[in-house]
Amino acid sequence: MGKLASEDIQIQRLIDSYLRLQVSKNGFTAEGEHLDEDFLTAFIEGNLNRREARPVVDHLAACMFCRQITAELIKLDLAFADDRARVFVEEGEPSRVSEVLNGLLSRIFGTNDDVVFAHQEQEKEEPSEKMENPPDNKQ
């Protein structure tokens, strides 16, 4: 019993050191394309089926870059686990998406670039600057 337990600990330590050392020598880094956001998310959520998951798992076992990303996303997923069902309704939302985005652009680029959103900008009288109900597109 004592020998077995000792052997278990020894093999765990051996594996631990072996893996860390391999990675520190830039081992386990696959060449080629990395996983995209779509696949990363679906993998973390356990939403890939076996057919899709097999190459993803093969890749993750070989690619340090993607594996690190998935590890961080898993931690993030757990940190925000309670947030899943929450829907936030805040007062005073801007009435149109173009206003939100133009506001963002002016903060980022220091200009209000109306041209970017010109395709959907329509001169339209808004009853008020703030809106408490969603825009209703029902005909």
Partner 1 sequence: MKHEDLVIECESVMDEIFARCVENAPNFGVLVDCFKDSLRKTAYRYLNTDSSETPTSEEISGFLRQIQADDLFLALACAGGNDRAWWEFDQQHRAYLERVARHLARTEIDAQEVVDTVYVELYGTRVVEGERVSKFATYSGRGTLRGWLRTVIWHSLVDLHRASHDEISLDEMMENVGESFAHANFAATELGGESQTIDNIARERYRKATLDSIEKAFASLDSHEKLLLLYYHVENLKLREIARMVENPASPLRGWFQRKSASRDKNPASKIHESTIMRWLEKNYAKVLKIFRTELSTTHGLSEKEIEICMGLATQDLASPNLYRNLITT
Name the one residue in this structure whose structure tokens are 């993030």: 76
- Nearest approach, Cβ of 14 to partner 1 (angstroms)? 5
Q: How far is CA 90 from the centre of its chain?
A: 24
Helices (H), strands (E): how many in the chain?
5, 2
CB 118 within 8 A of CB 99: no
- Nearest approach, Cβ of 132 to partner 1 (angstroms)? 11
For residue 110, the tally of other CB atoms under 10 A from its CB is 8
Nearest to 73 by CA among 28, 42, 33, 34: 42
Tokens of 103: 């506001």
- Nearest approach, Cβ of 65 to partner 1 (angstroms)? 7
- Nearest approach, Cβ of 1 to partner 1 (angstroms)? 15
Closer residue to partner 1, CB minimum distance, 74 or 112: 74
